[in-house]
Amino acid sequence: MSTTLKPAPVSVASIPLTHGHLPRGAEILVGVVAAAAAGLFPLLLGWGLVAWVIVSVILFIVGLTVWSAIVETRRSATDRMVTALVWTAFGIALVPLVSLLWTVVSKGVPAINSTFLSYSAFRTSLDQPIGIYHAIVGTLVITLCAVVISVPIGIFAAIYLVEYGKGNRLARGITFLVDVMTGIPSIVAGLFAFSMFTAFFGAGYRAGIGGAVALSLLMIPIVVRSTEEMLRLVPDDLREAAYALGTPKWRTITKVVLRTSLGGIITGVTLATARIIGETAPLLLIAGLTTRTNVNPFEGFMTTLPVFIYSQFQKGTAADFELAWGTALVLVIIVLLLNIVARVIGKIFAPKTGR
């Protein structure tokens, strides 16, 4: 007769599948407590606002992390600490930007009026107010000429690098030169344009086209890089499908590749334009400074907004400082509008995903 023995029950420690969570609004609560605790240091030690903010942030990060480690898990505490550090870094990066915008707006708004925007700096009488109309016209003309020079060269160079010159020596050389030109100082571009126009037209030649050439040297590498990246994002399946239908390569590039990447290319060109519109050093050398409005880029001095700001600060009077701050505000608004236009155009021409 056989007897079956049952195994003794083994006690298994229960493993919790859930853990506690901090209450809703825990970050706000910790922030208030940290700010109140940090407020003791300015009261007792006489610290300033900056020191109070720094101590508050440190206490907030430490307090939130410790509380999360006690109530939640170690992984949750680490996640909250890293999130707080990221937001702190974002706030630190935002401080100089907000400070810059506030300074420009607060000091530039009093100078903005109809006279400021419609008059040039040329006076026909001593009591006549001056404006920046001539600088606005000069900035737009020189920037437009630079765009006309840079965009075809940059786009065609990017097309060659992506579509025709994969892996050959010429493409590698062009890529190397583009990388070098990306970091070229603006004053070097101005010296190049100055020496080139001096060699062709003689000493003392100043014109807006010279400033456009100098700015195009700074703009071309940005256009090449942005266009190159956009062209590389186009799937090879689209190219192969066009080739399978017997479409020539040049037509595939113009009808398929460029149309697909048009939104990104236009965005890159607009951002490159915003990058060069604030340059001063090359334009001081080759475009010069004048108080009159000049719309001809091939003859005569032509003033831009950055050069006008520099000249007003050089004079050193309170009225000149006010004009300089007003001009700086106008320049910031123009750059802001260019960035908004770039984003809008990028969304309009972005490839439709069907979602």
Q: Is the pTM above the cut of 0.85?
A: no
Q: ∠276-157-235 over CA atoms, to 5°?
A: 105
Domains of the chain: 26-110 (no CATH), 133-348 (1.10.3720.10)
Q: ∠330-332-337 over CA atoms, to 5°?
A: 95
Cβ neighbours for 124, distance < 8 A, ≥ 6 positions apart: none
Query: What would the pLDDT profile of 129-163 be if each residue is shown by its tens digit?
Result: 788 888 999 999 999 999 999 999 999 999 999 88
Query: What would the pLDDT profile of 169-197 be if each residue is shown by its tens digit?
Result: 888 888 888 888 888 888 898 899 889 98
End-to-end CA distance of the chain: 74
Residue 256 tokens read as: 């398929």
Contact present, 212 and 138 (Cβ < 8 Å): no
As a whole number of angstroms, the distance between CA 218 and CA 325 comes to: 26
Residue 55 in this model has a pLDDT that exceeds 90: no
